[in-house]
Amino acid sequence: MDKVERLISIIMILLKKNIVSTSEFAQLFNVSKRTILRDMETLSVSNIPIYATHGVNGGYGIMEEYKVDKRLLSSSDLENILTALGGLEQILISEEVEITLKKIEAMVSPLSLKSSIQLSFYDWEGRSEILQTLRTCQEAILMRRLVSFDYIDKDGATSNRMVEPYQLHFSERSWYLKGFCLDRMGYRTFKLSRIDNLHMNEQTFNLRDDLLEQQQKASYQPQLVAIKALISPSIQDQFIERYGRKSIENYSAEYLLATIYVPQNSTGFDFLASFGTNLTIIEPKAYVEDFRNYLKNMIDNYPLQVLSFHKQNPPNQEF
């Protein structure tokens, strides 16, 4: 734990407790008493109203007026953080998150209503399988060590990569590793579920001079197209969650009209196709045509395959 993190932890502890001794702080952070004294001096210089008491039960505290009027994080704030982390824990699958949860739980009153909100996620088996990949990537990022792996692209082609790992990114349903690929000599983003035989190497690397500039460029959103679609009232809640109520207007007794923004590629088509017959795109014509071709290609995959399968395996045949 570095000094800044320790100072923040000291403030959080003093906001919840009246007096904490130098020995308690030293033992908690595994540092010397002299280090704690210097920390208290630093906080005082930073206008945090620390005061000291002497005697058997002496130690350090924060002025009550500060706690009431200028509390950095209230109990409600801590409960909100706890709720958010409690849900994200099921996505992050991280020991660090579990430790953070325990720290925050220790600061929140046992009588609080933190259980009034519950977040649930599908317990997909794939998440547990990707755990080791996540941990290896995170460790490599922190230690600035190169990683090597086999990468399978969307067409099934496999290539071996050596990468400087910079960041793990979770987007909606999937984890990604962002880094500089030494084999392609450029910044790349890799989907973790397409990574195999991952190894963290002994060789370290230095951050590149253009990293910050590249990260700013990489934060762009894909080009989106405004489309209009007739949707069934049965799926309007999903559109409200994603696009807000302003995206929907009344159209007829059977349908609502939704105006939304989606990419004109397989990602956008996959999303729209997931609504089945509950959605019909009406504008623009170019998007309708591309989406129709996408659906036609999907349908074309089935007749011959299904017929061939049934010829080889009649319905009453056990196999």
Question: Given this model, what pLDDT does residue 149 score?
Answer: 96
Residue 242 and residue 245: Cα distance in Å, rounded? 9
Question: Given this model, what pLDDT does residue 111 score?
Answer: 45
pLDDT tens string for the chain (319 positions)? 667 778 888 888 887 778 899 999 998 888 999 999 988 888 887 777 888 888 878 899 888 766 654 445 555 565 556 555 555 555 555 555 556 656 655 555 554 544 555 555 555 565 666 778 888 898 899 899 999 999 998 888 999 999 999 988 877 667 889 999 999 999 999 999 899 999 999 999 998 888 777 766 665 556 789 999 999 999 999 999 889 999 999 999 899 999 999 988 888 899 999 999 999 999 999 999 999 999 998 888 776 655 555 555 655 544 4
Residue 107 and residue 110: Cα distance in Å, rounded? 9
Question: Given this model, what pLDDT does residue 98 score?
Answer: 58
Which run of H or E residues covers position 131?
Answer: helix 131-143
Question: Given this model, what pLDDT does residue 128 score?
Answer: 63
Residue 224 and residue 236: Cα distance in Å, rounded? 21
The full set of domains in the chain, from first to last, is: 3-69 (1.10.10.10), 75-115 (no CATH), 127-218 (2.30.30), 225-300 (3.30.70)
Q: What contacts 277, CB < 8 A, 6 or more positions away?
A: none
Report the amino acid identity of residue 52.
A
Beta bridge pairs of residue 231: 256, 279
